[in-house]
Chains A and B, each alone.
Chain A
Amino acid sequence: MNAEQDLATSAVEQVSAVLGGAEVEASANRHRLSLTRFANSVIHQNVAEDVTTVRIQIHHEGRTASASASVVDASALAALIERVSAVVRVAPVDPAWGGLAAPAVPPVGPNEATEVAPDERAVVVRDFVDGAAGLETAGYCRTNVWNGAFANSAGQSVHGSAIEAGMSGIARTNGADGVARHAPLRIGDLDGTALGARAAAKARAAVDPMEMPAGRYEVVLEPTAVADILENLAVAGFNGKAVNEQRSFMRVGTDQFDRSITLVDDPLAIGSRFDTEGTARTRLTLVDRGTTVALTQDRRSAAEAGSNSTGHAFDSTFSWGPSARHLGMQPSGVEDEIATEVDGPMADSSVAALVAGVERGLLVTDFWYTRMLDPRTLAITGLTRNGVWLIENGQIMAPLRNFRFTQSYAQALMPGNVRAIGRTATPIPGDTYTATSPRWSCPAVHLASWNFTGGASG
């Protein structure tokens, strides 16, 4: 039994000894998260942590309480148990308790847990800087090694490990920025030189942009922009709690998307085999050729909806509801097809193929600061960033100034608005607020219309 299993199991046993008959679950997670950050083409922030956190949830006599703490020894675990046991005795009644996960063996996933030295991240950063060939650069290279275990009083006991690597960087020249992002599993698969060169090519092609009037334009969205659509669909669309509360537009069994759209959440890709409630995870299809076929559920939202947990509980489930964190849009090409680098501002050959099919429209690299105006329509406002270009007759014609847009993401992918999907998908790193970053698998998309509501320049 490893240290995390020991902690989770010990927590359940100790709570059960104190509160007879209580439903108890405990998870122990050790993260060795490291992130090397660079700006002005030098490493300016370089951090690492080695932290183990234990979370305990108890349902006792109709009441529920949870608590978590950084735990280093038996006394810290005992203090946590004492605290949550005291809280549950006085916690308000919880009629929506979803029960414990039954024993089940999760699917087998990658099982690597090798820590990465700071020198290895610094080399990737140096390669990105060199790849940008003299342009100013900024960004990060990140690695995370997770070892975790879960146990509950119903007999479920699982453990696992996962690895992540990611890079996001920009190159800058004469007021223009270009970006490149990639989130493979292993740092050895991060090609800093290629990413730096791609970002630099975009930046060079974005110099001296012209202003275009606001309005609806046909667009090709690169994978870095598509990631934002997937994230908002995951958080506010497929989220079982949001659907229960009628805040989401999702309706299972309904043709809500264009037939070219298939969306799959695949946490197994990084080795995340169970959620914080101990429910085994699967590769879950949410949209199948345009039809919404499933939602993401934790035990609480599933109980309310009369369905089953899909393994999407995480630490902030109460607040946000269960959401997919490894959502991917199925590309149009054959399985495992790989795009090649191309000249100019387009991210790769997959993007270039979509651009070739546009008579007049815009190529959008990235979205920024997107915020929801209305959850029922998934109306979002935000800005373009890191490069926008005018496309005419299948050719990149000119760089454009950034736009502000106000667009319903539900309508963006609805039947009839999707002209084409890219042949390949790129894993894009999500935000870095949690130790385990979301990861979005994104092809480029060609849409008939996107609502740009103004210019972003001052």
Chain B
Amino acid sequence: MPANLSSRSLVRRGRSRLWSSGMSEFAAAEAAVQAAIDAGARYADARVMHRRHEVMSARNGDVDDVSQTSDSGLGVRALVGSGWGFFAVADLSDGTVRDAGRRSAEIAAASALVSRAESHLVPSEAVSGSWSSDCAIDPFDISLSVKGDMLVRATELMGEHGADLAEAMCQSWETRKWFVSSEGHRIDQHIRESGAGIMATAIGDGETQRRSYPANRGQYRTRGWEFVEELDIVGHAARVGSEARQLLSAPVCPSGETTLILGSEQLALQIHESVGHAIELDRILGWEAAYAGTSWLDLAQLGSLKFGSELMNITIDPTIPGALGSFGYDDEGTPATARDAVRNGIWVGVLAGRDSGALAGLDYGGSVRADGWARLPMVRMTNVGLEPGPHTFDEIVAATDDGIYMETNRSWSIDDRRLNFQFGAEVGYEVKNGHLGRLLRNPTYTGIGPQFWSSMDMLSSEITAWGTPNCGKGQPGQVGHTGHPAAPARFQNVRVGVRA
């Protein structure tokens, strides 16, 4: 409520701030949890979060956006019978957070009108802990002029080398959060994320062509500004602008079945869409059936189902240093732990939370996160990606007599069971007799998940941990940040060149 405009000061005290009203973040969370329990909840947890986000973008030689957002607040979750209730407020004063706790229990009780048998939670040891992501250079310490100069220069170079529309962007996030549960968890985390990207669009007669670096949404990590410097977007700008222009006159990707080699960025999104979402336990249990969809995977086949070829080893690993899906604890207080999702082509693990894990008869959660304090924590990908293969990209190309190489995602679409997909890439190349050949425009490919993954016969060891900062899921909609280690790989008998 904004009505009270009386001034209150904010003082830092250790890892938790202390408001002049006397409430630190931990104290506010504890008060909300206690109020929920007092109102009848059998379990409650609360997260206080402070978030900052800065985005700067440039277009055709000018900065066209500098925007900063910040928000702070508390979200409290209560379990009454089998029903969850959640309430969020921005005001961390004692009366408001206690009222939020009470209202979360009230909402949970309303859920009982259409309820099931009592829910259970996978046991979780009450943890007290702290965690911070690595950050050598705080991105919020870098001046806007430095950021602006970098972005403007990149767009100028793209324009000089053929782009009609040259765009560049950098983003940074800082998240501090404090978690308390009625079981005794007490955890604080500090996560900083940074990234950048450039995009060149060439406008032709009736169509556009686009080329990006490192990816069309940029590349992001749980790291500081040093990661943006490593990306060197200015150093790649001329090539990107030139390639966008070249694409306008390139031949169209042929239609038919062929051998397909994917670059690691495109394969990262392939993993995200056809593996990561498919192994989300809430989808498998039908909790997302009306919107995000379900999964073709059946829990009865966990441990035996052939998902792909023996080269396919996919892990769920939030402990990878610097990857975008890394954290110390998930938003239910479960410590970050690596586990297998697919081992030697066999499906062996899921992304789970404490309630979904218990319902499925599993003994683990650990993959629950929320998009800010005002959203209910839900099952999300962490870092879901491939382990390295035995080959190199050069070896894969050299071993291919006839095929197409595609890189950098341009479009993506997959059905609600995560089976049938169609992807478009920004650029394709013919592969003939072990060499990359002509540039191809509008490359697309389509397939069915397990058939596609079973056709993977070569996989590179050159792993990159790609970051996806725009994973949508849930209602109200939540945007998640996920990581996807991936390397170039080869697939057989893939249908390419689908057109309108």
Q: Which positions in A face B, CB cutoff 8 Å?
A: 3-4, 6-7, 10, 28, 30, 33, 35-54, 64-78, 80, 83-84, 87, 90-96, 117-119, 121-123, 125-126, 129, 136, 138-140, 142, 168-170, 172, 177, 179, 245-247, 318-319, 368-377, 379-383, 385, 402, 404, 406-408, 431-435, 451, 453-458
Contacts and interface: CB of A to CB of B under 8 A. Distances in A.
A72 B116 contact: no
B68 A84 contact: yes
Contact of B287 (A39, A75, A246, A408): A39
Nearest to B451: A458
Interface string B20-44: 0000000000000000000000000
B63 A373 contact: no
A247 B288 CA distance: 34
A47 B208 contact: no
B8 interface: yes
Contact of B208 (A33, A371, A375): A375
A120 to B, nearest CB: 9
B448 A168 contact: no
Interface string B27-71: 000000000000000000000000000010110001111111111
A458 B63 contact: no
A149 B25 CA distance: 30
Contact of A318 (B67, B68, B103): B67
Given A46-B84, A48-B86, A377 B206 contact: yes
Given A67-B68, A77-B5, A139-B290, A381 B413 contact: yes
B289 interface: yes
B3 A3 contact: yes
12 contacts: A4-B2, A40-B116, A48-B107, A65-B68, A72-B90, A74-B5, A92-B63, A96-B64, A379-B500, A381-B413, A383-B413, A404-B422
B413 A371 contact: yes
A451 B449 CA distance: 23
B68 A432 contact: no
A65 B66 contact: yes
B346 to A, nearest CB: 18
Interface of B: 1-10, 55, 57-58, 62-73, 75, 82-93, 103, 106-108, 110-111, 113-116, 143-145, 148, 152, 164-165, 201, 203, 206-208, 285-291, 293, 296, 374-376, 378, 410-417, 419-420, 422, 424, 442, 444, 446, 448-450, 472, 475-477, 479, 498-500
Contacts of B67: 65-68, 318
B68 A453 contact: no
The winner among B82, B206, B422 for most chain A CB atoms within 10 A is B422
Nearest to B143: A90
B9 A75 contact: yes
A451 B500 contact: yes
Nearest to B113: A122
B70 A319 contact: no
Contact of B500 (A67, A73, A377, A457): A377
A457 B420 CA distance: 7
Contact of B110 (A4, A93, A122, A435): A122
Contacts of A381: 411, 413, 422, 424, 444, 498, 500
Nearest to A435: B476
A42 B500 contact: no
A6 B5 CA distance: 9
A121 B143 CA distance: 48
B69 A140 contact: no
A66 B287 CA distance: 38
Query: What are the 4 tightest A-B residue pairs by CB atom distance, in nearest-first order?
Result: A433-B477, A92-B63, A118-B110, A138-B290
A298 to B, nearest CB: 13
Contacts of A93: 62-63
A233 to B, nearest CB: 16
Nearest to A129: B114
A274 B6 CA distance: 29
B425 to A, nearest CB: 11
B207 A374 contact: yes
Nearest to B3: A3
A49 to B, nearest CB: 4
A45 B64 contact: no
Contacts of B9: 75
B90 A74 contact: no
A48 B5 contact: no
B207 A377 contact: yes
Contacts of A318: 57, 64-65, 67
Given A404-B422, A454-B446, A46 B111 contact: yes
Contact of B416 (A69, A74, A368, A453): A368
Given A49-B374, A451-B500, A453-B498, A43 B83 contact: yes
A319 B56 CA distance: 10
Contacts of A454: 420, 446, 498
A95 B62 contact: yes
A457 B290 CA distance: 18
Contact of B476 (A41, A372, A385, A432): A432
Given A72-B90, A433-B477, A118 B106 contact: yes
A50 B410 CA distance: 37
Contacts of B4: 72-73
A409 to B, nearest CB: 10
A393 B90 CA distance: 59
A368 B415 contact: yes
A72 B411 contact: no
Nearest to B8: A75
A349 B274 CA distance: 38
B344 to A, nearest CB: 22
Q: With a 10 A CB-CB cut-off, give which of A67, A123, A170 has the most chain B CB atoms.
A: A67
A304 to B, nearest CB: 10
B50 to A, nearest CB: 10
Given A47-B86, A72-B1, A73-B5, A372 B411 contact: yes
Contacts of B448: 458
Given A172-B289, A402-B415, A72 B91 contact: yes
A30 B2 CA distance: 9
Contact of B64 (A41, A46, A94, A123): A94
